[in-house]
Every structure is written in structure tokens, then in C-alpha cells.
Chains A and B, each alone.
Chain A
Amino acid sequence: MEDRDIISLYFDRDETAIAETDRKYGALCRGLAMNILGLIQDAEECVADTWHRTWCAIPPQCPQSLRCFVARITRNLSISRLRHDRAFKRGGSRGEELLSELGDCVSDRNGDPVAESERRELARSIDRWLDTLGETDRYVFVRRYWYGEAVKDIASSLSLPRCAQRLHRLRLSLRAHLEKEGFSV
């Protein structure tokens, strides 16, 4: 079913919208949540919450890309769960790996958190930086730090040698970009 048809179901308050969304994007969202949380139970809960949030959000919202819309909700829910887990010292997940690597982008891993108002600006800045990258670099970075895919899987899917080193260079590049744009990294 096309996205616009599924969104119409939401607008019609037809509950088959959720089943259709799950059929089309369930695997994507489960994989994304698993990549960040590493536990199937937690991932399932995040995906179930995603469908609930989506049901509540559409209408009034009418996303241009349903795929991005639900994946973004899943990602945010997974990060919230990850934050909760970390608070209770439940370490060792894939999300911890990602955060550990992203430590290269900042000088002090325990620095002051960015204010909520600044976070959107940070996202825009990352957007601009992504625009400066070549197609492969951009894809690799997004697959790793947006979707949380394993480095070896990304490398394998692209037949890309030295993917970890590529990511390392990209992290350093992002750090330099953020510094240049005035963020205190």
C-alpha cells in the first residue's frame, strides 16, 4: 500500500492503518530499535509505542514521508529508553557503542548538555555538514549514527574497505565542522 493510502486510513481513523504501517515499516523500525537497544523485548515495546504515537499524531500531522516519520519516532523512543537504561547502569547495548564513538566529536565526553533550544540548530548544522559529504560518506555516516547499523554490515553491504577508519575520519570532520560553526564541542 502506498504511503498516502496508509495516511488516509489514519485520517479516516481506520485502525487497519496501524497494521498496514507495521507491514510496511515494522521491520525497519524493529531493526532500528534493536540497533540502539540490543534487546528484542525493548525493541518491540518501542515499535508498539511508535504505532501508538503515530496514531495520535496523524491527524493533525500529515507527514511527507511516512517512512521517515515512523523511523524518527522509533529512534527517539529508543534513545529515551537508552537514556533510562543508562541511568540504571544497564550498559553494554549497541547504543553505548554509538555514543562511545561519537565521543570523538566532542572534547569532553561529560561536558555540559546542549540546551533544548540549541539542539535543533545542532541538527541543522549536522544537516549542512552532511550536505558537504560525498554520497558514500553520507550514506555510511547516516547508516551508522542514524540507523545504528553495525560497521561490518555497512562495510559488507557496500563492499567498502576500512569502514571503521572512514567513520573515524568522518567523526573528526564533523567535530571540525561544529567547531567552525561556533558550537562549543
Chain B
Amino acid sequence: MRPDDIFEAMSDVSDRHIEQKKPGRAGRVFMRFAAVAAALALIVVTVLPRMGGSAGESGAPENAEAEQSVPESFMSYAGAMLPLTALSDGLAAERSVALDFSAWSPVWHSIDDLVAELPDSVSDAERAEARAQYEEWYPDGGYYSSGTDVLVRDSYVLHGGDGETTLVMPFVSSFRYLDEHIPTLTQNGELLAGELFAGDLAGYYAGEGYGSYDYSSGISGWSDLKAVLSSGEYMRSALDGGSAVADTPVIVYRVEDVSVPPESEENLNPTVELSFTLDYDATTVWSWGFNGGSWDSENGTMSRNFSGGHGEGYSRMLIVMGEDITEPVVTGYRTGDCSEGNELEGVSAKVVRCETTLGEVVRETMIEFIDKSAYIQFGENDFEERLELICSVAMRTLERYHELGAYIWEDFETVYGDILAQNRVFFLVCETELSEGDTVTAEYLKDASFDYYCAHTDKQGVSGYELAVSLGSGIEMRTLTARLENFEHCEIAGGSFGFDVENGVTEVALDPAAEVYYIEVRRG
């Protein structure tokens, strides 16, 4: 069967499906439904632990079916707290999760503190000016601030794992905010050294390639997490790194010694265009340092251009994957309108062809991208390690684009921006010797899911957190408990854990066979 068959057979589906009326406002209906479901789940789960024993007592509620789903209504999704896993079978665990909300406690920032925090380079006069400004802004002498992160301590008492074991702690983050989210993994209180690996973007993984408007999507909801982690393929691909594609041969056309006439009233934006021919079915052409271009797949031609009077010091290249293109022809234009009649004399550039590997060209351009963009900053110590991680993801992404076999108008810069900014799942991998009953704890800050303030939704001011019970984990969860700590500045707005803070239920036994639990919190 081919996709065409399904597309064509669709013509013959029943009239009732073709004529279906637009449903009511799905998003809102869903949110209302979710709110009801959350309320029901809260009732069910708060009652059940009490029926089975006191809160905090080990043992699963008798009926956890009501807590299986989570509302996917937050505009900014931070991802769930994910369970520990191992690369070997046979491990079981008693899992306990502590959610520490101490970051929600207000912290006072006095004007004195603010002035003292100004860099040493600020002069006394500037310091005085800043103080005056602060006094105008904060007539009370300062301000309170507080966060919405939760400090998570996710502990596992492990059984059945005598000997050398590879533990893997997955977590959701982006390269941009990675440092804030990396878990600390300890075994019986001793720090475990680990190596970081990064999964692909959810959209790429799901094959949402050419033609999909969010091909570069990150993880935007629980269902995305399920989609990428359920089978284990996503993790395997991440742990393989990018080495498999690093040696992929590519052809690079570097543009050097660019010379254009100065800008003038006639030549508003002297532009350099490289035009060439290619086989669209066999070639993917990426650009680096270019501003625009055109393509004509019917005639097998393509061009890329850049503003010749700008971007001095930037490298510019075409990166060809697959079959080679014809030698690019350089043409100058008066403006970015690279059409006949707008040509400009006196433009020249040298185009140097070389054969290299995907790994080499990605490393070179990624260093330049990081250096010249404000997307991400590394400490000097982990620069090489972090760069290697980012490049491995970039290589897999570019290779995947090429594999999709459809022409995509893209430049490296756009892809790199997506790679660094979007959420993905990272994996902290630790080799260790396990003994029966060892306790492994992952501690990390978990940021909240939320709706944007200006959107004025009914979730305004609400922070959401999800706990994945066993998603993607090969460890059998025998028991699961969850505990709230330092919750005095918060109140529960919804959820499925079954906490009842007013009545002192801040620790609950959960169903280890459930899929996910969630809690929604607002400032109390």
C-alpha cells in the first residue's frame, strides 16, 4: 500500500464525515473537562489512601484509573519528572518522590542589596543614579521575589541489581537552560559521576518533516513525552550519539574574498548570489552565512544570496549532502532583488570546493554560531563536552532532514536555533556497582508548566508539575510515594496525587502501575 492509496480512498469516505460540523471550541471544552476530571481525581485519590490506611502508608490505592490522564492545557510545557531507568533488566524499586516548594518562599531584596550586586565596574555616580532609580521603583525599600521551581528528590531503593549497572536518569530541558536542570545522582549518599546525552527534538523524532508546520517542535505536552519515550528508541538513538553520522561525506563550497562596490543610492544593498543546478531528488543543500535565495525544482536550479556589504568576518558556505551540485556561478545585484535587470558590475567572490564530513562542518559552524549568538553560554571547563553533545544532535538532525528525501529550504542557523532553544529529553548516564537495597537519589530543580500571563486563561497564575511513574523505565516500580515539603506559600489548584494539605495529607501512596500524576499549584 502507498500513501496515495489512502489519500485517494479518503475520497470515498461517508458524506457524514465530510460534512461533519466544526466541533465546539475544542481547547476550552477540553480544559473544562480537564478541570472536572482533576476535581474528580482529587476526590477519589484523597479518599482512597484514607480508606486503605493513613496517608503516607505504603501501598497503592485500589483504583487509580481516574488519575491516568493529565490536562494538556498549559501553554508552556516544562515536561514531567521522569523515572530512573537502567540499561539492564531485572531491577525493581521502591520509589519515593519529595517535592520541595521552598523556592516559592518570598525572598526580600533590599535596595542596598541591589546596589551592592552591581558590578565593580559601575562608578559611584552610576551607583547613586541606580539607587535613585531603585528608590523610585521600590518605595518600600525593596521588593519580594519568589520562584516556581520545585526541588525534586526522587529516591529509589533498588533490588535485584547486584553488580555493574548502567543507570540512566532522563530529564526534560533545552540546551539553553541545561545547567539549571541537570540532576545530581547519588548512590547511598555518594555522588555518581555521569555522562550527558541528548535526545532529538520531538518533531524530528516523530518524522514531522517536510510539510509540517511544526517540524522543529520540542516537547509540548504529556502525549509528546509518551510518544518519544515509550518505545525506548528515542533513548537508544540519544545514547548512540552522533558518531554514526559524523563521517557522512559532504561537499562544501566556501565563499571567500568577497568584493562588492560600496553602497550608494543606486546600489542600495550590493548582493552576491550563487546560482547552481542540482538534482532535487538526490541532493540537499544547506547554507551558512547566506540571507536568502530562490529555488525552481522543475528546472533543477537554485540560488542563495547574501548582502555583500555586511557580515564581514562571517564565514559563508553551501553544504551539499548527497549528489554534488554544479559549480556555483557568482552574480552581483544592486539589491536583494536578484532578478534580471538588477545586476551589478564589479562584484566578485572566490568559491572554493572541498570535500569533508558532516562532523567537521557542523563543529566549525556550531562554534561560530555559539560564539556570535546569545543563545547559549558555557563555562570554559565544559565547553568541549557540551559542544560535542550539541554537535551530535545537530548531525543527527541534519542527516534526518536529508533522509526525509524532500527538499527543505533551510539554513544551518535556523536549525541550530531550534536545536538550542527547544525542549528535549536529556539522559544522565552513570556506571556503578549496585548492591541489594542500595538507594539511588536524583535531585534536581524542576521548572513549572504555565500559561502565559497575558493570555488571561483560567490557568493564569497556576504552575503545573507532572510525575511520570514508569514511562520509558525498565525498572519495575513496586511502590511509589510522594510527599510535599515547604508548601506553606502554595495552595493546590488541581491534580491527581491526592494531597489534602488542609487536612494534613502531604504524603500519599500512589499506584505504581499508573501512568502519570500531576499537581497544579498557585501561590497561597
Binding site for B on A (CB under 8 A): 64-65, 67-68, 71-72, 75-76, 79, 83, 89-92, 94-106, 108-114, 119-120, 122-123, 126-127, 130, 135-136, 138-139, 142, 145-146, 150-152, 157-162, 164-165, 168-169, 174, 178, 183-185
Q: Which of B1-35 contact A (CB under 8 A)?
A: 1-15, 17-20, 22-23, 25-28
Of A104, A123, A130, the contact of B12 (CB 8 Å cutoff): A123
A160 x B26 contact (CB < 8 A): yes
Is chain B's interface secondary structure helix, strand, loop, or mixed overall? loop
B:189-235 near A, CB below 8 Å: 202-203, 206-214, 217, 220-221, 223-224, 227
Tell whether, in the assembled complex, residue A111 and residue B2 are in contact, meaning their CB atoms are under 8 Å apart: yes
In the complex, residue of chain A having the shortest beta-carbon distance to the beta carbon of B28 = A159
Cβ–Cβ < 8 Å partners of A168 in chain B: 206-208, 227
Known: A76-B11, A126-B6, A127-B17. A111 touches B1 (CB 8 A): yes
Judging by beta carbons under 8 Å apart, are A100 and B72 in contact?
no
Residue of A75, A151, A161 touching B72 (CB-CB under 8 A): A161
Q: Known contacts A100-B210, A168-B206: does B72 contact A119 (CB below 8 Å)? A: no
The residue of chain A having its C-beta at the shortest distance from the C-beta of B4 within the complex is A99
Measured in the bound complex, the distance between the Cα atoms of B224 and A151 in whole Å is 17
CB of B406 within 8 A of chain A? yes
Residues on A with C-beta less than 8 A from B227 are 165, 168-169
Chain B proximity of A160: nearest CB distance (Å): 5
The reply to whether A145 and B28 contact each other, CB–CB distance below 8 Å, is no
| Interchain CA distance A20-B6 in the complex, whole Å | 32
* 9 interchain residue pairs of minimum CB distance: A97-B211, A123-B12, A102-B3, A122-B9, A159-B27, A114-B5, A68-B15, A123-B9, A136-B26
Residues of B within 8 A of A114 (CB): 1-2, 5, 9
| Residue on A nearest B404 in the bound complex, by CB | A100
Residues of B within 8 A of A178 (CB): 1
B298 at interface by CB-CB < 8 Å: yes
B297 within 8 A of A: yes
- Give Cα A125–Cα B208 distance, bound, in whole angstroms: 25
The CA of A161 and the CA of B214, in the complex, are separated in Å by: 11
CB <8 Å contact, B1 and A183: yes
Indicate whether A101 sits within 8 Å of B1 (C-beta atoms), given known contacts A146-B10, A169-B227: no
Closest beta carbon of chain A to B442's beta carbon, Å: 27
B253, CB-defined interface residue at 8 Å:
no
A65 touches B15 (CB 8 A): yes
- Chain A residues with CB under 8 Å of B220's CB are 161-162, 165
- Asked whether any CB of chain A lies closer than 8 Å to the CB of B288, the reply is no
Would you mind naming 27 contact pairs between A and B with Cβ atoms under 8 Å apart? A65-B15, A65-B19, A79-B7, A79-B11, A89-B297, A92-B407, A98-B211, A99-B7, A100-B406, A104-B207, A112-B2, A114-B5, A114-B9, A123-B12, A123-B13, A126-B10, A139-B23, A146-B10, A146-B11, A151-B214, A158-B26, A164-B212, A164-B213, A164-B217, A165-B220, A165-B227, A169-B227
Q: B221's closest neighbor in chain A, by CB?
A: A162
Chain B residue nearest in CB terms to A133: B17
Tell me the nearest residue of chain A to B74, going by C-beta.
A161
Q: How far is the CB of A140 from chain B (nearest CB, A)?
A: 9
For A101, the chain B residues whose CB sits under 8 A away are 3, 211-212
Q: Is the CB of A90 within 8 A of B3?
A: no
Apart from the given pairs A97-B210, A139-B22, A159-B27, 13 other A-B contacts in the complex at a CB distance below 8 Å: A68-B19, A100-B210, A101-B3, A101-B212, A104-B207, A106-B3, A146-B11, A158-B23, A158-B27, A162-B220, A164-B208, A164-B213, A169-B223
Shortest beta-carbon distance from A138 to chain B in Å: 6
Q: Which of B19, B27, B223 is the one whose CB lies under 8 Å from A165?
A: B223
Task: Report the separation of the CA atoms of residues A139 and B18 in the bound assembly, to the nearest whole angstrom.
Answer: 9
- Contacts A130-B13, A184-B1; A122 near B25 (Cβ below 8 A): no
Query: Does B333 belong to the interface (CB within 8 Å)?
Result: no
B residues near A105, Cβ cutoff 8 Å = 3, 6
The smallest beta-carbon distance between B453 and chain A, in angstroms, is: 17
What's the minimum C-beta distance from B457 to chain A, rounded to whole angstroms? 11
A148 to B12, CA, bound (A): 15
Q: Are A174 and B6 in contact (CB under 8 A)?
A: yes
B487 CB–A CB distance under 8 Å = no
Central interface residue in B14, B202, B227, by most chain A CB within 10 Å:
B14
CA distance A71 to B4 in the complex (A): 18
Instruction: Provide the bound-state CA to CA distance between A89 and B3, in Å.
Output: 17
Q: Which residue of B lies closest to A65 (CB)?
A: B15
